Structure 1
Amino acid sequence: MSRDDGLVLPAEVIAEEFVPTLRIALARALAERDCAQREIAGFLGVTQAAVSKYLSGRARATDRIADDERFAATVERVADGWVDGELKGDDALVEIHELLRTFVDRGPVCALHEEAMPALDGRECDLCVRGRDDAATRERETLRDVRTAVRRFAAAPATPEHVPNVGTNVASALDDADEAADVAAVPGRLHAVRGRIEVPSDPAFGASQHVAGALLVARDVDATVGGALNLATSDALLDAARDRDHEPVAFDAGYEDRATELRDAFADGVPTVAYHDGAYGIEPVCYVFGADARDAVERARTLVAGAADP
């Protein structure tokens, strides 16, 4: 079920994917417990002909739902309870509703909804669960910040030359961020391929470790810092920063106590550019900080342009 850019309601996914798969699974589970088709039809609220179709294999189930362990466990529990007389219709409804609640909270139904409505894909959508509350709005704005920043970064002609071999990530933090899960970035990072920037996917929270870690330390020192990205360290880039009165600050390349190293480097405030010269097995990298991801990228674009000047 896909409608390209069209509107698909989550209720449609539930009605067209979850409900038929549930009825098929329950019908088969009850038949295995020697229930007659007439009894099964009465319990499921369908015709006996529908039950016959479920049992014959002519009805289509959705594998993403049917293969889920939580789904299988609920079907077994409901079937056992109904056959034993311990579970009535309203009890079964509670069990199924609880299962459905977990499935629409970034679960299989949510994944199917993203497939059916590609505009949602990769956006960690949970509108069905949380609605338009303030926290959800801030998350969407943060993801939008990264998407816009990434487009700006990829559009700049000279940026591929400054992407390190490990890739570049662009990150934006929520206002109350205190862990990597509160920072949006690009899963898989950006890479330079044949002179262009390749963007593997839409941003998501928790998609960065190193850039997010540097950004969290910067925010802890200066709450006005909300975005960052990494570039390959080069003399040209550092000179371009100095020419624009952004004195780069050096820190140790090791990962073992990176947060402490950065916090010490930021003792006099968070710089626009913080860099290291690499170490054994560690590529030289610099971080560019800004008020948000778009601001960090604009600063990076300016530095990249300056590094290209003769």
Structure 2
Amino acid sequence: MKTNAFEAVAKYVYPSLRRRLVEILREKGLSQIQIAGLLYITQSAVSRYLRMNRGALIEVEKFPDIDEKLKRLAEIIMKEKPDEYYIHGELVKIAVEMLGKGYVCSFHSKVDPGIDPKLCRICIETFG
């Protein structure tokens, strides 16, 4: 195992969750500048997420339960405008949930062919 689960989350899962959150906020009619302000990121980062130049390796919308959590988070962000620590914490919780449900296993084995998802149960047993 050259790439552990935390590295995979930091490099691929978290950015993909953030990308999907940006998409959801955009679908709700917010401008890139509004999204950037709400998420405490730059407008340039929002643009890269929307152009699929960042966070595009995992199609989060393929996991309906995770996508629903991101939609609820988007509603909270729009209504309550929480601070960046709250948003980060919620994204980390969602990422950990993805690990616990085994959603990251096949992707992890693609970025690190030394991983055998049939043998590795670390994330499911630790976070599931």
Fold shared by both chains (TM-score > 0.5): yes
How far off is 1:77 after superposition? 0.5
Distance 1:22 1:68 in 2: 11
Whether contact under 8 Å (1:105, 1:128) holds in the other structure is yes
Residues 18-54 of structure 1: per-residue CA shift (max 9 Å, x gap): 1221121111211222323223223333321121222
Could you say which residue in structure 1 is the equivalent of 2:121?
Answer: 125
Matched residue of 1:112: which SS?
helix
The answer to whether the aligner puts 1:25 opposite 2:20 as a matched pair is yes
Question: Gaps (5+ residues) in structure 1?
Answer: 1-5, 132-310
Could you say which residue in structure 2 is the equivalent of 1:308?
Answer: none
Report the CA distance shift for 1:20/1:96 in structure 2 as closer, same or farther (over 3 A). closer
Whether contact under 8 Å (1:21, 1:62) holds in the other structure is yes
Find 1:68's aligned residue among 58, 63, 67.
63
More helix, by proportion: 2
Report the CA distance shift for 1:38/1:58 in structure 2 as closer, same or farther (over 3 A). same
| TM-score between the two structures when normalised by the length of structure 2 | 0.75
Matches within 5 A, 1:79-158: 79-85=74-80, 88-89=82-83, 90-121=85-116, 122-126=118-122, 130=126
Whether contact under 8 Å (2:32, 2:46) holds in the other structure is yes
Matched residue of 2:100: which SS?
coil
Matched positions, count: 125
Report the CA distance shift for 1:63/1:100 in structure 2 as closer, same or farther (over 3 A). closer
Report the CA distance shift for 1:10/1:32 in structure 2 as closer, same or farther (over 3 A). same
Matches within 5 A, 1:191-230: none
Q: Which has the higher contact order (CA 8 A, sep 6+)?
A: 2
Whether contact under 8 Å (1:41, 1:47) holds in the other structure is yes
Distance 1:56 1:64 in 2: 14
Distance 1:48 1:55 in 2: 11
Say which one has the larger Rg. 1
For the aligned residues, what is the CA RMSD?
Answer: 2.7
| TM-score between the two structures when normalised by the length of structure 1 | 0.35
Report the CA distance shift for 1:31/1:9 in structure 2 as closer, same or farther (over 3 A). same
How far off is 1:103 after superposition? 1.1
